[in-house]
Amino acid sequence: MTDYMAAAVLAYGVVYFWVELNIYYDPPWVLALLFYYLGGLIPGYLVCRRTGSAELAVGVRSSVSSWVFTVVSLLAFTEGNTPTFFALLLVMFLLGGLTSAYLALRGRLRPKKGSPAPEYNTLNQPEP
């Protein structure tokens, strides 16, 4: 639970950075999608790497908990957010969480440099 809350706070930090950036500058709106995507990707990847198993479930749980925390925080601290904005935020967080699960799983399955390649995949497989 602590890891998910830490991920949620980090995701909110990324979104809040974008909100503050919008106050001082007028960046292109496409950058918002990138920031929201990174808000789901970075914390999700860190939690997936920490758990070391069930990456897909961990990535989705991390992105949903991050979204819930971000929605509650934005509703409490800002004004004028629409349901469309929150739906877009959920989609981008989920895409980031799924990508983080893929990257963490790929990193775990890839053999380390210099070690001999295994003859078969030993990940959660019974001995032959």
The token pair at 25 is: 């500058």
> Is residue 116 situated within a structural domain?
no
> Is residue 92 situated within a structural domain?
yes
The predicted structure's pLDDT at residue 92: 92
Mean pLDDT by 10 residues, the chain (128 residues): 86 86 85 90 88 84 90 83 87 92 85 62 57
The predicted structure's pLDDT at residue 127: 58
> Is residue 78 situated within a structural domain?
yes
The predicted structure's pLDDT at residue 118: 54
Instruction: State which residues form the domain around 6.
Output: 2-108
> Is residue 119 situated within a structural domain?
no
The token pair at 53 is: 């198993």
Question: Does the predicted model carry a pTM greater than 0.85?
Answer: no
> Is residue 52 situated within a structural domain?
yes
Q: How many domains are there within the chain?
A: 1
